[in-house]
């Protein structure tokens, strides 16, 4: 306070030395009170009487509120509260939450809607509020303070520009005007802590901008929000804890993974906040938008779309010491433009190789990092713009050369130095980025969960601190004693897996199954060369042995000097494509001895073999480059600058593995895969039969395929033989089919019994179950809630029934299996699958209350398939109201169809007037009986006690509900087969059982949960 007094006096030119301590306190209190009222003028009048002498000092026109703010270091010093701020929120109602959200929305409504390269007030202000909340939680360290505590250090250069954004709105971006969240905070500060308020304000701007993006239902934030964060007055420790974007994903790992305990999926999801706002050199030292200005005011997945669909080049930012990746395709505005688009190192490394822009600029590399569009078709299909690299000219089968010219037209030096693979980039979170870009809902669900986890870090581990929103606050709530968070030294920040202790030794079995792949070699070939085999199940069984840097370092330390680890290189002759032209990155090159290989790869030979040399063997892990769940993980990357040594990238804990994990390889000499190899099963002593080869379920005359796609006809056992063909990405092997004495009968494990995959775009599980002689009920789904409410068990079920329920190559290129966790999107369709390609098979699980109509929800188009749960049919005696004589009730809310799913207007209806009005279901049945060829009918009332609608069909073996909302409330009946007794499915329950509470995402099953399998698929 004495220091502040001297500063004030020097500012006014009136130095006073003889004020009493009491007077100083009084004067500063008056100043604080005046500032709290927002008057903009401070009047200090202090009088002291010493032996008749009266000393009067007046300080007026110290108007500049920002003058005082510039001297204050922490948010609680500038976010004033005239009524007295609470340190911790004791209670908060759902109504209070909504009021704060609404008030922030009013501020956003009053901002200018103009959004151009220079001015976009909504994007700028929303981005700043969100930046404040993010910087607040990112300074967390276990036991060392930080987290969402309402405190950041304004002396930290990384927080530059946040003060005026919070209080006056007059920050570096133009057009915002004099708006702030301080006035709003002053209305609630006696009840809501500043720590909670910052989180609320951020959720408010995200809710507003999410709705502006066209999503009307944004209730997830409110559902996850908990109050009780404590505001801290001091946090000088926080200085320097924020991630330095110059350091790429290593900085992301230190803050998000190590300190906050997030997974790479969660970290990648949180980075989506960059979709709002932009960077300014006066604040962060960086310059530009993460996307176009219009999308920068909408909270959607455009950040990921922008990252993948545009070309980026490393560059220095003006004369500063900062470096970034600027957009360099035809859509670029240039760094000198206010419309410049850019990505930071911490953005780029999620999708591409982690090459710092500073290093790239020094070596004139990474001048144009871009991707081939045909490898990201699911992203393109979800994009509203339909452009790649700022043009639509390369979307349809463009050559690599054509795409390179289009994407890198404005790149520095006109070059295309991609620094990564054009088809399979090596970013630490590339699979998550790809999924988020293709599916906005998948990203938003992952973001909300990660946001809740990050803003609760350091508090959620201790009961009684954070509480869910109340309907009403009682006196007991307002008198609660809030525990102080403690941080036991035994608690870790990682909850995914248990890591190997420093003293734990590796077993001989572990050492025996891990092999170093040679440069440009697949794990299938690596294992084969050593008389072993690679399969997807082995990765699930033993992949966790490589899910941390310490584990990977130990294994490499044991095997790196073994003879088997020498880098022999891949024995392949890579040739050019038929046009004989040089294509960057070799993506259209390959070779082999099959007719297909000779017809595709006809150009001159480029390399007699893969690069194998002692310079890339015998080293240890010297640098931790983080976790990943791509096929090129685990892998070691040689760098001479490390001593020399390897950069080591290890498995994401609890990851999934792509179906082609074994046969994929990377056409690059510096990376070497680590492969898990198992003993081969003994082969029958019989000759190979070349007529039994199958490729994707169809005869294969060449008997050459990737192990994930090759198989044999019934009665033959498959084995992969010698290399027969190879491309830039995959190895192909001879399909060897040997006859076996007995063909094993495929069986479905107990945990998958009663599950069936429905046809594409068919929402009606009732028809699926009836086809298998079973019934579908909501209770059936409820009884297996523990299985269908998480990705792991859904993926196990799909793997168990995928062969049986495969639609065939015309509808699905590969047999159903879960390649990606697409989360739970709240659709009433799930659980289910979506996809059908070697790189795309999403699996969705269910969360929340299961409604009575879950067997027949509203249909949605899109190529998905429902995972239906069927139960044994209970035979009942039907009355006329249930089913007329000679008919059986088989479905609800859908039209009848045949196994080909013929639509109503394509010949499935029968009779001169297939649709008529009948007084009741019995009359409809009589009409069907009087029509030649009628096999079933559908009947429904528009209103109770009114004449209903009747439709007659030539077949009613299946059901179809595609754009048929008019069928809601209908019942479908099929004629009984006189030679076969068909059981009637039990009716749908009329109310949810008490065991399944609607407010809980984890209902208690009415029966013991089905035991999970001992191993993942």
Distance between CA atoms of residues 88 and 479, nearest Å? 12
Look at residue 990 in the predicted model and tell me its pLDDT: 29
**CA-CA distances (angstroms) from residue 913 to 253, 953, 962?**
68, 11, 22
Distance between CA atoms of residues 325 and 369, nearest Å? 9
Q: Which two tokens stand for residue 566?
A: 């020498």
Q: Which two tokens stand for residue 334?
A: 């240039």
Angle at 1002 between CA 98 and CA 871, to 5 degrees: 130
Distance between CA atoms of residues 728 and 892, nearest Å? 51
Q: Tell me if 627 sits within 8 A of 650, measured CB to CB.
A: yes
Look at residue 979 in the predicted model and tell me its pLDDT: 52
pLDDT mean over 273-302 = 89
SS (H, E, C) 903-950: CHHHCCECCCCCEEEECCHHHHHHHHHCCCCCCEEEEEECCCCCCEEE
Look at residue 787 in the predicted model and tell me its pLDDT: 87
Residue 66 CB contacts under 8 Å (≥ 6 apart), including other chains: 163, 164, 167, 168
Where is pLDDT greater, at 90 or 379? 90
Weakest mean pLDDT among 101-110, 423-432, 635-644? 635-644
Look at residue 257 in the predicted model and tell me its pLDDT: 92
Per residue in 542-572, pLDDT tens? Answer: 999 999 999 999 999 999 989 899 988 877 8
Closest CA to 603 of 593, 615, 588: 588
Q: Tell me if 524 sits within 8 A of 663, measured CB to CB.
A: yes
Look at residue 861 in the predicted model and tell me its pLDDT: 54
What's the pLDDT band for 782 if we cut at 50, 70, 90? confident
Where is pLDDT greater, at 249 or 319? 249
**DSSP secondary structure code for residue 711 in this structure:** E
Closest CA to 834 of 435, 448, 540: 435
Look at residue 27 in the predicted model and tell me its pLDDT: 39
Q: Tell me if 317 sits within 8 A of 281, measured CB to CB.
A: yes
Where is pLDDT greater, at 133 or 121? 133
Q: Is 682 buried (19+), middle (13-18) or exposed (0-12) by CB count in 10 A?
A: exposed
Weakest mean pLDDT among 322-326, 661-665, 975-979? 975-979
What's the pLDDT band for 1010 if we cut at 50, 70, 90? very low
**Any alpha helices (H) in 543-594, and if so which ranges?**
549-559
Q: Tell me if 410 sits within 8 A of 330, measured CB to CB.
A: yes
pLDDT(34) > 60: no
| Bridge partners (DSSP) listed for residue 739 | 716
Which of 15-19, 90-94, 165-169: highest mean pLDDT?
90-94
pLDDT(981) > 70: no
Look at residue 953 in the predicted model and tell me its pLDDT: 92
pLDDT mean over 923-930 = 92
Instruction: State the angle between helix axes of 21-36 and 2-12 in degrees (0 to 180), rounded to the nearest 10.
Output: 70
Q: Tell me if 909 sits within 8 A of 954, measured CB to CB.
A: yes
Look at residue 536 in the predicted model and tell me its pLDDT: 82
Instruction: Report the chain's mean pLDDT, rounded to a whole number.
Output: 79
| Bridge partners (DSSP) listed for residue 343 | 325
Closest CA to 678 of 476, 865, 540, 819: 540
Instruction: State the angle between helix axes of 194-212 and 94-110 in degrees (0 to 180), rounded to the nearest 10.
Output: 60
Which of 245-249, 290-294, 994-998: highest mean pLDDT?
245-249
Where is pLDDT greater, at 849 or 475? 475
Residue 580 CB contacts under 8 Å (≥ 6 apart), including other chains: 602, 603, 604
Look at residue 94 in the predicted model and tell me its pLDDT: 92
Write phi, then psi, for 723 (nearest 5 degrees): -60, 135
Per residue in 181-228, pLDDT tens? Answer: 888 899 999 999 999 999 999 999 999 999 998 887 777 898 889 999
Look at residue 546 in the predicted model and tell me its pLDDT: 94
Look at residue 116 in the predicted model and tell me its pLDDT: 85
Q: Tell me if 663 sits within 8 A of 708, measured CB to CB.
A: yes
Look at residue 149 in the predicted model and tell me its pLDDT: 95
**CA-CA distances (angstroms) from residue 442 to 223, 438, 823, 840?**
17, 9, 6, 14
**CA-CA distances (angstroms) from residue 230 to 76, 133, 275, 401?**
12, 14, 29, 57
pLDDT(1008) > 80: no
**DSSP secondary structure code for residue 53 in this structure:** E
Look at residue 917 in the predicted model and tell me its pLDDT: 81
What share of the chain has pLDDT > 70, as a percent? 79
| Bridge partners (DSSP) listed for residue 691 | none
Distance between CA atoms of residues 915 and 768, nearest Å? 25
Look at residue 608 in the predicted model and tell me its pLDDT: 62
Look at residue 118 in the predicted model and tell me its pLDDT: 83
Look at residue 85 in the predicted model and tell me its pLDDT: 94
pLDDT mean over 272-278 = 91
DSSP string, 794-863: HHHHHHHHHHHH---TTT-SS-----EE------TT-SEEEEEETTEEEEE---S---TTTTS-----SS
Classify residue 488 as left (phi > 0), alpha (psi -120 to 50) or beta: beta
DSSP string, 475-515: HHHHT--PPPP---TT--S--S-PPPPTTPPPPHHHHHHEE
Residue 1000 CB contacts under 8 Å (≥ 6 apart), including other chains: none
Distance between CA atoms of residues 559 and 176, nearest Å? 60
- Look up the pTM and report it: 0.50
What's the pLDDT band for 395 if we cut at 50, 70, 90? confident
What's the pLDDT band for 137 if we cut at 50, 70, 90? very high
Look at residue 39 in the predicted model and tell me its pLDDT: 30
Look at residue 552 in the predicted model and tell me its pLDDT: 95
Distance between CA atoms of residues 887 and 921, nearest Å? 11
pLDDT mean over 310-334 = 89
What share of the chain has pLDDT > 90, as a percent? 31
| Helix, strand, coil shares, percent, the chain, to 5 | 30, 20, 50
Distance between CA atoms of residues 519 and 617, nearest Å? 10
| Bridge partners (DSSP) listed for residue 49 | 54
Weakest mean pLDDT among 391-400, 630-639, 640-649, 770-779? 391-400
Where is pLDDT greater, at 410 or 370? 370
Look at residue 412 in the predicted model and tell me its pLDDT: 66
pLDDT mean over 384-404 = 82
Per residue in 823-870, pLDDT tens? Answer: 876 566 789 888 877 667 888 888 777 888 888 776 555 678 899 999
Which of 265-279, 400-414, 736-750: highest mean pLDDT?
265-279
pLDDT mean over 448-458 = 92
Where is pLDDT greater, at 954 or 583? 954
């Amino acid at each position: 306070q004495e220091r502040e007094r001297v500063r004030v006096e020097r500012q006014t030119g009136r130095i006073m030395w003889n004020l009493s301590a009491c007077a100083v306190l009084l004067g500063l209190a008056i100043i604080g009170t005046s500032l709290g009222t927002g008057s903009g003028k401070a009047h200090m009048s202090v009088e002291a009487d010493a032996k008749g002498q009266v000393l009067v000092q007046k300080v007026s026109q110290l108007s500049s509120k920002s003058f005082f703010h510039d001297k204050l270091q922490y948010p609680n010093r500038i976010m004033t509260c005239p009524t007295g701020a609470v340190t911790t929120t004791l209670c908060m109602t759902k109504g209070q939450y909504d009021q704060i959200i609404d008030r922030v929305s009013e501020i956003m409504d009053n901002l200018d809607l103009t959004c151009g390269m220079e001015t976009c007030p909504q994007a700028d202000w929303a981005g700043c509020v969100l930046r404040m909340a993010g910087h607040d939680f990112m300074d967390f360290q276990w036991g060392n303070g930080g987290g969402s505590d309402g405190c950041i250090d304004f002396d930290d250069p990384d927080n530059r520009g946040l003060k005026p954004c919070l209080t006056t709105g007059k920050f570096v971006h133009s057009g915002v005007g004099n708006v702030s969240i301080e006035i709003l905070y002053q209305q609630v500060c006696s009840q809501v802590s500043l720590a909670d308020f910052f989180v609320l304000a951020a959720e408010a701007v995200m809710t507003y901008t999410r709705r502006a993006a066209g999503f009307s239902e944004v209730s997830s934030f409110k559902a996850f929000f908990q109050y009780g964060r404590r505001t801290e007055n001091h946090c000088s420790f926080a200085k320097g804890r924020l991630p330095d974007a110059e350091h790429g994903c290593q900085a992301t790992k230190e803050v998000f993974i190590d300190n906050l305990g997030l997974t790479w999926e969660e970290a990648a999801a949180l980075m989506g906040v960059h979709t709002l706002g932009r960077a300014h050199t006066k604040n962060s030292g960086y310059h530009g938008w993460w996307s176009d200005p219009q999308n920068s005011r909408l909270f959607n997945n455009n950040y990921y779309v922008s990252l993948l669909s545009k070309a980026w080049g490393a560059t220095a930012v003006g004369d500063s010491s900062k470096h970034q990746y600027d957009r360099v395709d035809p859509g670029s505005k240039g760094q000198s433009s206010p419309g410049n688009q850019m990505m930071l190192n911490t953005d780029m490394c999620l999708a591409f190789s982690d090459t710092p822009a500073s290093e790239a600029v020094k070596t004139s590399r990474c001048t144009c990092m871009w991707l081939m569009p045909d490898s990201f078709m699911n992203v393109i299909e979800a994009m509203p713009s339909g452009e790649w690299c700022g043009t639509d000219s390369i979307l349809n089968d463009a050559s690599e050369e054509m795409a390179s010219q289009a994407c890198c037209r404005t790149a520095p030096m006109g070059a295309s130095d991609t620094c990564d693979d054009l088809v399979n980039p090596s970013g630490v979170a590339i699979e998550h980025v790809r999924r988020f870009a293709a599916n906005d809902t998948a990203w938003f669900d992952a973001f909300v969960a990660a946001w809740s986890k990050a803003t609760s870090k350091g508090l959620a581990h201790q009961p009684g601190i954070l509480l869910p929103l109340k309907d009403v606050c009682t006196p007991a709530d307002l008198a609660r004693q809030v525990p102080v968070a403690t941080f036991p030294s035994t608690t870790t920040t990682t909850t995914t897996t248990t890591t190997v202790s420093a003293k734990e030794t590796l077993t001989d079995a572990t050492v025996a199954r891990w092999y170093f792949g040679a440069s440009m070699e697949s794990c299938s070939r690596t294992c084969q060369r050593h008389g072993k085999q690679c399969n997807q199940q082995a990765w699930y069984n033993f992949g966790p042995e490589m899910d941390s840097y310490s584990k990977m370092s130990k294994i490499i330390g044991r095997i790196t000097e073994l003879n088997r680890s020498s880098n022999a290189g891949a024995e392949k002759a890579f040739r050019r494509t038929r046009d004989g032209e040089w294509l960057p990155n070799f993506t259209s090159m390959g070779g082999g001895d099959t007719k297909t290989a000779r017809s595709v790869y006809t150009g001159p030979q480029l390399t007699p073999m893969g690069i194998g040399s002692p310079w890339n063997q015998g080293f240890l892990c010297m640098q931790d480059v983080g976790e990943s769940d791509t096929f090129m993980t685990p892998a070691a990357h040689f760098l001479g600058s490390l001593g020399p040594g390897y950069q080591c990238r290890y498995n994401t804990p609890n990851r999934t593995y792509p179906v082609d994990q074994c046969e994929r390889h990377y056409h690059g000499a510096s990376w070497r895969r680590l492969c898990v190899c198992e003993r081969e099963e003994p082969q029958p002593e019989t000759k190979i039969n070349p007529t039994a080869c199958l490729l994707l379920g169809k005869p294969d005359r060449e008997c050459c395929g990737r192990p994930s796609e090759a198989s044999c006809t019934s009665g033959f056992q498959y084995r992969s033989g010698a290399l027969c063909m190879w491309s830039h990405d995959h190895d192909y092997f001879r399909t060897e089919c040997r006859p076996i004495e007995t063909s094993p009968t495929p069986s479905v494990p107990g945990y998958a019994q009663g599950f069936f995959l429905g046809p594409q775009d068919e929402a009606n599980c009732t028809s699926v179950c009836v086809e298998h002689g079973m019934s579908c009920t909501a209770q059936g789904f409820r009884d297996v809630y523990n299985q269908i409410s998480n990705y792991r068990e859904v993926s196990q079920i799909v793997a168990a029934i995928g062969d049986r329920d495969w639609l065939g190559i015309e509808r699905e290129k590969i047999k159903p299996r879960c390649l990606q966790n697409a989360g739970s999107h709240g659709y009433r369709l799930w659980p289910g699958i979506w996809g059908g390609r070697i790189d795309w098979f999403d699996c969705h699980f269910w969360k929340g209350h299961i409604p009575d109509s879950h067997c027949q929800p509203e249909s949605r188009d899109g190529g998905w398939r429902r995972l239906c749960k069927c139960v044994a049919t209970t035979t009942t005696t039907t009355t006329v109201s249930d089913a007329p004589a000679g008919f059986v009730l088989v479905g609800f809310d859908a039209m009848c169809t045949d196994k080909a799913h013929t639509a109503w207007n394509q010949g499935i209806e029968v009779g001169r007037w297939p649709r008529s009005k009948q007084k009741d279901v019995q009359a409809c049945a009589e009409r069907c009986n009087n029509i030649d060829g009628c096999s079933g009918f559908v009947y429904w009332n528009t209103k109770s006690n009114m004449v209903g609608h009747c439709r007659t069909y030539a077949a009613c073996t299946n059901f179809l509900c595609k754009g048929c909302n008019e069928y809601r409330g209908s019942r479908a009946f099929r004629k009984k087969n006189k030679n076969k007794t068909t059981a009637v499915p039990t009716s749908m329950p009329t109310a949810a059982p008490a065991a399944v509470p609607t407010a809980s995402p984890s209902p208690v099953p009415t029966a013991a949960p089905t035991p999970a399998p001992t191993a993942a698929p």
